[in-house]
Amino acid sequence: MNKYPSWLNILVLVVLLTGMLLALPNIYGSVPAIQLSGQDNQPFDDARLQQVVQTVENAGVSPEAAFVQDGRAVLRFHDENEQRAAEERLRARYEREASIALTLAPRLPDWVRSLGLSPMSLGLDLRGGVYVLLEVDMATAISKRMEAYEIDFDDRLRDADLGRHRVERDEGLITVRLANAEDLPAARNLIRDADPDVLIADGADGSSLLIRMSDAQIEDRRRFAIEQNVTTLRNRVDELGVAEPLVQQQGLDRIVVQLPGVQDPNQIIDMLSATATIEFRMVDQSGEEPGSRRFPGRPGVRSEMLKRDVIASGDQIVNAESGFTQDGQPAVFINLDSTGGDKMLETTQVSVGKPMATLFIETKREEFTRGGETEYRIVKTEEIINIATIQGVFKNSFQTTGLNPAEARELALLLRAGALAAPVYMVDQRTIGPTLGQDNIEKGFLAVQIGFLAVIVFMAVYYRWFGMIANVALLSNLVFIVALLSLLQASLTLPGIAGIVLTVGMAVDANVLIFERIREELAAGAQPQAAISSGYDKALSSIADANITTLIAAIVLFAFGTGPIKGFAITLSLGIITSMFTAIIGTRSIVNLAFGGRRLTSVPV
């Protein structure tokens, strides 16, 4: 009686050994490291890695280890002084070829790394870094779409030669005014052909059309804006070389950016919220073309009337590099996609000898006080940074000047990463220093140790040998939680440690129920083996009910919570799952091996 089949005992042993293997990388700790990823999207190989190592060694620094991981070169160092010295030499040599990020790398032996094992990642509150919460300006996203409609409808009406007309935009409404009311049906059909989903109504004057976006279109535009912005911000973070960043949507119109290891947030924040882009337009030398508008020039550049048509814009740029022209002027060297290149070729073929302007556009939100309350206004800066005469025909590749070196570098980075679909504004920003992160780790793990030892002492004193078996299961439970966090690469946060501390207490609940049920059976006169069997069998339903209801609550927390709440929910969920295994199957396996199949006169519980 009370005997598991051999295969089940072997399974329990295999699960335990697997958990220990997966948790093993966490005992080695981390050291300062540098990570290089190719800007040309080419993964590092052993040959390139050796070149990188040689560059560092020429600076008098010997890496503790160097290897290629996921196509990136990783160099580990003994301390931060070596890391900083190596960074300086690598940036001088590889800044244009690779993104260089300072990070922490686990000090894993080669055989552990060859198995593909990794330690669990640490959240921002434990590792230190920068947390930024950004809000997407959805009103501007919709306004930009309405502006595109305005230009498109005006062009279609002009091409159809419907006579005099005027297209006006006011917030979420476009008004098309016609000189002849008989042209209304034709104008309506043209607009329907342009976009059949827009809402069209007749104006009160009988010679105009009122056009709005439908609710479905507005919702699609909102979704596109936040998805595009998440992609763009992730690209910008990658360009800055930040290791292990987190960029994700939060709610309907907000984006969370977490940058582990970054301690100086100023440049990062400016780069994340920057909306700078450029447009290339022809100068209207006659000043009489419909839609032309005068734009100011930055100091040293004259103001000009520019045509409404945009030859190419920032969202058509596939690559941009900062540098200097042959005469030493700072410049941005630009490559366009096929659409932009075709339009540029078409324009330059008929415009040799004519001036083309580079228009710099930037949107910012300014804070001001009115009536004692803080309010915000959107300020859009549009200025000409360069006017150049087209000397010949070109297509995808060209350069623009008119910026200082710092502006050229920043603009090149922004253009490479892509344009934001709508401006983003900082709602919250926090910087967590590495010292505070380390202090959080030490206090958190101290709490785990105290809770763990207190439970061990209580169980050993109160339940004797059965209590010691429960303590083995409790230790195994902690190993399994760490193993699963490592396997899933889920970040351990400070609330996550709180979830582990809670799990330590909850993990013995199942064994307490089982042991008390065994005591009750013994008190009722049951034989020792029958009492053990009955204790496990009868307590199972209560254990399952209690853990399932808690697991449901944890899943709800994960589904609807954000940030730290998710971290707590993850460790709590994993702890519930592992404690069910260790408390029911694990402890019974040990009990069966120790006491099963024997004639017992008493049970040490």
Q: For 37-59, how does the pLDDT look when each residue is reduced to its tens digit (9 = 90+)?
A: 776 556 788 888 888 888 888 88
Say what the pLDDT of residue 289 is. Answer: 82
Question: Average pLDDT, stretch 507-514?
Answer: 80
Phi, psi of 396, rounded to the nearest 5 degrees? -90, -30
As given in the structure block, the two tokens for residue 444 are 């958190």
Among the four given CATH numbers 3.90.1070, 3.30.70, 1.10.1200, 3.30.1050, the one describing domain 139-218: 3.90.1070
Question: Average pLDDT, stretch 355-383?
Answer: 81
Say what the pLDDT of residue 22 is. Answer: 92
Say what the pLDDT of residue 263 is. Answer: 55
Higher per-residue pLDDT: 551 or 275:
551
At the topology level, CATH places domain 30-107 in: Alpha-Beta Plaits (3.30.70)
Give the pLDDT confidence of 124-147 residue by residue, as tens digits.
777 777 888 888 888 888 888 888
- Over the range 556-582, which residues count as b (16 or more CB within 10 Å of their CB) and which as e? ebbeeeebbebbbbbbbbbbbbbbbbb
CA dihedral 350, 353, 355, 356 (to 10 degrees): 50
Question: Average pLDDT, stretch 384-392?
Answer: 87
pLDDT band at 283 (very low <50, low <70, confident <90, very high): very high
Say what the pLDDT of residue 496 is. Answer: 82
Higher per-residue pLDDT: 579 or 318:
579
Residues 498 and 451: beta-carbon distance below 8 Å:
no
Lowest mean pLDDT among 24-38, 95-109, 452-466: 95-109
Residues 494 and 125: beta-carbon distance below 8 Å:
yes
pLDDT over threshold 70, residue 481? yes
Class of 6-24+433-595 per CATH?
mainly alpha
Distances (CA, A) of 471 to 5, 489, 592: 24, 27, 16
Q: Where along the chain do its domains lie? A: 6-24+433-595, 30-107, 139-218, 276-431
Say what the pLDDT of residue 143 is. Answer: 87
pLDDT band at 17 (very low <50, low <70, confident <90, very high): very high
pLDDT over threshold 80, residue 391? yes
pLDDT over threshold 90, residue 296? yes
Say what the pLDDT of residue 40 is. Answer: 57
For residue 491, how many C-alpha atoms fall within 13 Å in the half-sphere facing its CB?
A: 19
| Alpha helix positions (H), 108-171 | 110-114, 124-127, 138-159
Residues 317 and 334: beta-carbon distance below 8 Å:
yes
Say what the pLDDT of residue 211 is. Answer: 92
Give the pLDDT confidence of 403-459 residue by residue, as tens digits.
778 777 777 777 776 677 788 888 888 777 655 666 767 777 787 788 778 888 888
Q: What percent of the chain has pLDDT over 90?
A: 8
Angle in degrees, CA 520, 526, 530, rounded to 5? 100
Torsion over CA: 153, 156, 160, 163 (sign)? positive
Three-state DSSP class for residue 196: coil
Say what the pLDDT of residue 96 is. Answer: 67
Q: Choose from 39-43, 190-194, 519-523 the range with maximum mean pLDDT.
A: 190-194
CA-atom Rg of the chain in angstroms: 33
Amino acid, single-letter form, for residue 130: V
Expressed in percent and rounded to 5, the helix, strand and coil fractions of the chain are 50, 25, 25
pTM of the model: 0.64
Long-range CB contacts for residues 284-289, cutoff 8 Å, separation at least 24: 285/354, 285/355
Question: Average pLDDT, stretch 62-70?
Answer: 86
Say what the pLDDT of residue 304 is. Answer: 92
Say what the pLDDT of residue 21 is. Answer: 92
Q: Number of helices and strands (H, E) in the chain?
A: 17, 21
Say what the pLDDT of residue 522 is. Answer: 81
Instruction: Give me the architecture of the 276-431 domain, per CATH.
Output: 2-Layer Sandwich (3.30)
Question: Average pLDDT, stretch 540-544?
Answer: 80
Strand 30-38 to strand 98-106: parallel, antiparallel, or no bridges (unpaired)?
Answer: antiparallel
Which candidate, 494, 500, 532, 530, places its Cα nearest to that of 516?
532
Q: What percent of the chain has pLDDT over 70?
A: 93
Higher per-residue pLDDT: 23 or 273:
23
Say what the pLDDT of residue 421 is. Answer: 77
Give the pLDDT confidence of 141-164 residue by residue, as tens digits.
888 888 888 888 888 888 887 778
